[in-house]
Structure 1
Amino acid sequence: MKALRRQRNLSQEEAARLFGFKDRQTISAIETGERRLSAEELVRAVEIFRVPLDFFTDPFLLVGEGKFSWRQNGVIGRALLGYEEDAGRVIAAFRTLAPQVGREAPLLRCSLGLSKESSYEDASAAGDRFAGEYKLGNVPAARLAEVMERDLGMLVLMVDPIEGVSGAACRLPELDVVLINRREVAGRRHFDLAHELFHILTWDAMPPDHVEDVVPKKRSRVEQLADNFASALLMPSTVLGKVGDWSELAGDELIVRLNAVADELRVTASALRWRLVGLDWIDKDIGRGIAEDRLRNNGRSKPAEEPLLPLFSPTFVEVIGKAVNEGRVAMRRVLHLLGISIDDLADLFAVHSVEAPYEL
C-alpha cells in the first residue's frame, strides 16, 4: 500500500479519501501493519491502484522492500526495472521459503566501520583485514562467495541477467543478497562480488546509488572506496608480498609476472597492476605505460577453457528442494519462477550436489 501510494504521488490524506476513511490515521495504521485490510477494502485497493490482486497477496514479490544497487553499462531504465522485478521474485521466494524449511536469517549484520569521510587507504586496509580475519587464504576469490553465505548469512546468486548488467547488491530488512553475472570472465566476476560486498557492509553508512555505471566518466567517492576495498580483499598485501620484489621488474618481465599472478589470484591483470601501483610497489608511470593488450584475461573476452558456473548457489537450491519436498511450493511454480525446464532443474540439483526433490 505504501509503495503504491508513493508511486502514485498520493498523500495519506488523499488515499484515505479514495478509500472512504475518515482520516489518514487509518491509512497509516494499514501501512505500518497495525491494522489489517478487510476483504472489501482489499478489493477497493485493487480498483484504486489498478493492480492485480497478486500484487498484495503474492509472497514471491518484492514491493517497496528491496533496495537494489546495479552495476551496469548502457542498460535502458525500463529494461533494468523489468529485470529487477524478475530478480526480486527469486529473492522473495528464498526470503519466504528459507525460514519455513528451518534456515533462519542471521540475528546480527556485519558492517565495516567506514564512512564517506574514510580515506582510500582505510578502505584498502579494511579489505586486507577482511581477507585475513575470514581466512580467505592465498586465493581469496576462490572462497569469498562461500564465506559470504556461510559466515555472513548473505545470499550469493549466479544469474543470467539482461545484457549490460554485471551484478547487483540487494538490501532487505532481513536479508542481504548479491547477484553476479555468471557469464563474465572470472576476474570481473570476483571483483564485482567483492565490490558488492563492500556496499552490503556499508549500506547504512553510505547507501549506494540505485544504478552504477561500470565505466563512468567520473566515479563517486563511495564507488572508489568500494574499488579499493575489493582490490585489497582479492589481492592482499601479504599474498602479493610472497611473490617477490615487484619494484625491480620492468618491461616484458613485469608483464609476464602480472599475467601469471593475476591468473593464480583469479583477478584481471589490469586490476593487479593498479593494486600494485596503490601499494607503491611499482611506479605509477610504469603502470600507466603498460599496453592493455599485453594484459591477459582483462575482462574483455572470456577464455574458451573457462567453465560456465552453475546458476544460483547451493544454499538457494537446497532451500528450493526442501520447500518442494515439504509441499511449501509447487514444482510448477518453481519452474516458472526460475524460468527453466524440469530437466534443467534436475541438472541444477546435481551440479550443486544437493538432494533433489522427490518429484525429480
Structure 2
Amino acid sequence: MKDGGQWTGVGDRVRECRLAADMSQEQIASAMNLDRTMIAKIETGVRRIDALELAKLSAILKVPLSYFLSSPPTVVSRRTELADDTVTDATRQSYRLEIALSTWLSDVQQLIELGELAAPRIERYPETVEDTLGARSAASWARGRLNLGLDPIDSMMAVCERLGQLVAIVETPGDGASLVEDDIAVAVVSSNGDPGRRRATAAHELGHLIIGDEYSSDIGVHSSRAERESIIDSFSAELLLPIDAFTERLPAGPTTKRDVLITFAAKYHTSWSLTLRQATEAGLIDRDTAKTLRQRNPTRAELMEAVDWAPQPDLEAVLVPPRYAHAVLQSFKNGLITTSRAVEMMRGQVSAADLPARDYPDLEP
C-alpha cells in the first residue's frame, strides 16, 4: 500500500498530466463520471485512486499507466513545475516530452533487468567546453571516435547508440529531451517536423551527453540558458555538417552557390537553416547572402535530385535503436513479455501481426 506521501506524488503527476493535456478538472471528472471535487482530492492526495480509475485516467490523458506509479527521474525534476497560473503551450510540450522520456527510460531499464539488453558505454568529451569553438572541437572529437572524417552521417540513431545514447522517436509535440540515470543515457525526439529537424534535435540531445551531463544542468552559472543551448547547437551543427566539408568536399557539378548548398543539405541530410549557418561559418557565403537564401528554401524535388533520388529513411521509418529492437524481440520470443507489451515497447514500428508465432500463449489477465 502507498502511504500518504506516495499518494500525494501520484496526485501531483495526475494534476501535471491534466495541465499538460490542457484539460480542466471538470472535463476529467465528466469523462470519468465523477464529481469535480473527487478529481481535486485525487490531485492533492486526499483521496486514493483505485486501479480502474487510474487506467481510465491513463487513457483520457494519453499517459502510460506506469508513469503515475513511479517517481520521475531525478534529472527531469529540473523543469519548472506545471501550475494552473503558469502553464503555457511551451511548458505543456516540455512536460509531455518528459513523460515520453521517463517512459522510454523505464522500457530500457526493463529490458536491462530482463538480461536482454546491455546499455551502451557512454562517451564523454575529455575537455571542458565553454564556448562555441569548444563545442565544435567536441563535435570533431565525436566524429573521430566514429571514424567518420568529413563523411555524412547516414543514421543519427546509430551514431547516438555508438556514443552511448539510446534514442526513440515519439509522437509528442515539441523537439526533444534527454537524461542520464544509473549510467543509462536516453533521449526522445518528436516525430513532428521533417527528418532534418529530427536529426538536428537528436544531435542536440547527444551534445548534452558528450559535452557532459553537468553541463546540461548547472555548468556555467554565469551563462544564460540561451547561451548554453547555443553552445549545444554549435556541437549539433558541426557534428552533422563539418565546416571543413565546405572546403574539402565541394561538389563539382553545381554552378550557383544555392545549387552547391542544396547538394550539401541533401547529402548531409541537414535542414536548410543549418546548412546556411555552417556555410556562413566556413566563409562560403556572407550573412547577407545567407539572409537572402533563407527565403529560397529548396524543394523536395531539388533535394532528391541532388542525391539521385535515393531514399532517406533516417529517424523516419526507424523509431527505436537496433539493439533495443533486438532485445524486445528476444524478450518476446523467450516469453518474458506479452504480445501487447512488445508492440507497445516498439512504439509503432511493428504490429502484433509482425511478431513471430510462439509455442505458448500470452499469460495476460
Per the shorter chain, which TM-score range? 0.5 to 0.7
Query: Across the two proteins, how many residue pairs are aligned to each other?
Result: 290
Structure 2: which 5+ runs fail to align? 13-44, 56-64, 80-87, 219-223, 301-308
1:319 offset after TM fit, Å? 1.4
Structure 1 CA distance, aligned partners of 2:120 and 2:107? Answer: 17
- 2:270 maps to 267
Q: Deviations over 1:47-80 (max 9, x none)?
A: 878466899x96996523253499xxx8453465
2:340 to 332, 337, 340: 332
1:110 to 112, 115, 124: 124
2:147 to 135, 142, 156: 135
2:91 to 77, 80, 84: 77
Contact 1:62 1:89 (8 Å CA) reproduced: no
Contact 2:122 2:183 (8 Å CA) reproduced: no
SS in 2 for 1:220: helix
Q: C-alpha root-mean-square deviation of aligned residues, in Å?
A: 4.2
- 1:67 maps to 75
Q: Deviations over 1:265-291 (max 9, x none)?
A: 111232111112223343223323334
- 2:110 maps to 96
- 2:233 maps to 227
Q: Deviations over 1:199-250 (max 9, x none)?
A: 12234332259xxxxxxxx97111100111111111123432223499xx9x
Q: Deviations over 1:78-130 (max 9, x none)?
A: 46535533542243022122242343335665245334xx1211111221232
TM-score, normalised to structure 1's length? 0.65
Query: Against the structure 1 CA distance between its residues 111 and 332, is the aligned structure 2 distance closer, same or farther, given a 3 Å change threshold?
Result: same
Query: Against the structure 1 CA distance between its residues 129 and 337, is the aligned structure 2 distance closer, same or farther, given a 3 Å change threshold?
Result: closer
Query: Against the structure 1 CA distance between its residues 200 and 146, is the aligned structure 2 distance closer, same or farther, given a 3 Å change threshold?
Result: same
The code of the aligned residue for 1:154 comes to Q
Structure 1 CA distance, aligned partners of 2:329 and 2:178? Answer: 25
Structure 2 CA distance, aligned partners of 1:144 and 1:357? Answer: 32
Structure 1 CA distance, aligned partners of 2:345 and 2:49? Answer: 20
TM-score, normalised to structure 2's length? 0.64
Contact 1:139 1:266 (8 Å CA) reproduced: no
Contact 1:169 1:196 (8 Å CA) reproduced: yes
Contact 1:98 1:104 (8 Å CA) reproduced: yes
1:261 offset after TM fit, Å? 1.5
- 1:161 maps to 172
Contact 1:269 1:296 (8 Å CA) reproduced: no
Query: Against the structure 1 CA distance between its residues 106 and 76, is the aligned structure 2 distance closer, same or farther, given a 3 Å change threshold?
Result: closer
The code of the aligned residue for 1:310 comes to V
Q: Deviations over 1:8-28 (max 9, x none)?
A: 99xxxxxxxxxxxxxxxxxxx
SS in 1 for 2:256: helix
What pairs with 1:135-214 in structure 2 (closer than 5 Å)?
Answer: 135-149=147-161, 151-162=162-173, 165-208=174-217
Structure 2 CA distance, aligned partners of 1:59 and 1:78? Answer: 16
The code of the aligned residue for 1:121 comes to L
Query: Against the structure 1 CA distance between its residues 200 and 253, is the aligned structure 2 distance closer, same or farther, given a 3 Å change threshold?
Result: same
The code of the aligned residue for 2:165 comes to M
1:276 to 273, 276, 279: 279
Structure 2 CA distance, aligned partners of 1:8 and 1:61? Answer: 10
- 1:15 maps to none
1:264 offset after TM fit, Å? 1.0
Structure 1 CA distance, aligned partners of 2:157 and 2:344? Answer: 26
- 2:331 maps to 323
The code of the aligned residue for 1:103 comes to L
Contact 2:72 2:102 (8 Å CA) reproduced: no
Query: Against the structure 1 CA distance between its residues 49 and 312, is the aligned structure 2 distance closer, same or farther, given a 3 Å change threshold?
Result: farther
Structure 1: which 5+ runs fail to align? 10-46, 210-217, 298-302, 350-355
Contact 2:179 2:186 (8 Å CA) reproduced: yes
The code of the aligned residue for 1:259 comes to I
Contact 1:139 1:264 (8 Å CA) reproduced: no
User: Higher mean Cα deviation, 187-196 or 94-103?
Assistant: 94-103
